[in-house]
Amino acid sequence: MAVSENINHINSVIPAHVKLIAVSKNQSIEKISEAYNAGHKIFGENKAQELISKHSLLPSDIEWHFIGHLQTNKVKYIVPLVKLIHSVESTKLLKEINKEAHKRNIVVNCLLQFHIATEESKYGLDYEEAVSLLNSHDYKQLNNIRICGVMGMATFTDNADIIRQEFKELKAIFDMLKERFYATDESFKEISMGMSDDYLLGIKEGSTMIRVGTAIFGKRV
């Protein structure tokens, strides 16, 4: 199916409050333009260099999201270009984002990434690490970042029960952090969970943002 049909299909099955992030990593400018021309304006990339290059080649009203592992030395390039960084998982990274945002007199929206999958290789915090980050003196000094919620990736498996369990865990983490740190902060409201094969499951478990690549663009090249 064409990119535009895929987008229309997904938009027709997800609720209006869920934001669709079209994950365009490894996809060509032509394919991304196809999505853009079909009216889609929100794209996600997981590599700094690729985001920088696509940002320069594509229309300026695109809302870019950074969803991959972010190295501190790349933060300065990314900060001016993105609407939201989904993948914050350390105080060090948060401080670097804050520093670059401060220089530009902007506030950068971030999600805390949690490790919910069983695989070792996936990045992310656990609940206790997040609590100590949010309680730290360092964190309280950061005025140029805004934590808007949480992000996580489920285990790569066909077993829907495992994925559902991991999504429930992320939702529970969100709820606990909301109550403990952000009860009066309306910005803390996002749960970024669900990809091509499990976005409906993610939405059932409370997702507010889904990150969908191959179901829109086809296989990555």
Ligand X SMILES: *Cc1c(COP(=O)(O)O)cnc(C)c1O
Q: Which is nearer to ligand X, 23 or 82 (CB)?
A: 23
Tokens of 182: 């952000």
179-218: buried (b, 16+ CB within 10 Å) or exposed (e) per residue?
eebbeeeeebebbbbbbbbbbebbbebebbbbbbbebbbe
Q: Cβ closer to ligand X: 46 or 207?
A: 46
Q: Are 27 and 220 in contact (CB under 8 A)?
A: yes
Min CB(162)–ligand X separation in Å? 16
Of the pair 142, 210, the CB lying nearest ligand X is at: 210
Beta bridge partners of 21: 211
Instruction: Kindly state whether residue 209 participates in binding ligand X, applying the rule CB under 6 A.
Output: no
Task: Determine if 173 is a binding residue for ligand X (CB under 6 A).
Answer: no
For position 55 contacting ligand X by CB under 6 A, the verdict is: no
The SS3 assignment for 210 reads: strand
Nearest to 66 by CA among 163, 169, 40, 55: 55
C-beta of 181: minimal distance to ligand X in Å?
Answer: 24
> Could you give the count of Cα atoms lying within 13 Å of 193 in the half-sphere of its Cβ?
35
Half-sphere exposure of 102 (CA within 13 A, CB side): 9
Q: How far is the CB of 33 from ligand X (least distance, A)?
A: 19
Site residues (CB under 6 A) for ligand X, limited to 183-202: 195-196
The residue within the footprint of ligand X, chosen from 46, 98, 207, 208 (CB under 6 A), is: 46
In the bound state, the residue with its beta carbon closest to ligand X is 213
Which x/- pattern over 13-32 shows residues binding ligand X (rule: CB under 6 A)?
----------x-x-------
Pick the closer one to ligand X by CB: 62 or 111.
111
State which residue, 142 or 199, has the beta carbon closest to ligand X: 199
Main-chain dihedrals φ then ψ at residue 122, nearest 5 degrees = -80, 140
Report the interface residues with ligand X, using CB under 6 A. 23, 25, 46, 67-68, 153, 195-196, 211-215
